[in-house]
Amino acid sequence: MASSKASLSNYRQSPRKVRLVADLVRGKNAAHALAILAALPKRASGPVADLIKSAVANAGEGNPANSLIISSVQVNKGVVLKRSMPRARGRASAIRKHSSHISISLTSKPAPKTPRETSGQAN
C-alpha cells in the first residue's frame, strides 16, 4: 500500500473552524472529498482541497485520486499572534489571531480479493 503526505503550516484560521472541514473529509475517497469541498461554503475548504491535491500529486502518477483514501487529517494549533484593540478610558483589550497546522496523509485502497483467496482453497 502506497501512502503520501502533505502539510500546511501557519494557516491563518483558528483550528476549531478548520476541524469542521477536516471532519467532513476524513476517511473518504480523495476524489469524493474534493467534490464535497468544492460545494462547501467554508473558508477552510479551499486550502484543505489544495492540500488534498498536493497529497495526490505526491502519491505519484500510478495512483489516481479515486484510488486513494484520506487515512488521517490532523489540525493542530499554530502560532498565536497577539494584538491589542484600544478601549474606553485608555485601556486595551487583547486580540488573539490563531493559526493552524494541517497535515493530511493518503493511503491507497487495498486490492480486492479474488474469489479463490476468499474461499481458502488452494490448487
Instruction: Report whether CATH 3.90.470.10 matches the domain 3-83+95-110.
Output: yes
| pTM score of the predicted model | 0.83
In this prediction, residue 63 carries a pLDDT of 82
In this prediction, residue 53 carries a pLDDT of 95
Set of cell numbers at residue 105: 496523509
Write down the domain spans for the chain.
3-83+95-110
DSSP 28: S
Dihedral (C-alpha) 12, 15, 16, 19: value to the nearest 10 degrees?
A: 110
pLDDT in tens, 12-28: 999 999 999 999 999 99
pLDDT higher than threshold 80 for residue 119? no
pLDDT in tens, 66-93: 889 999 999 999 999 999 999 999 999 9
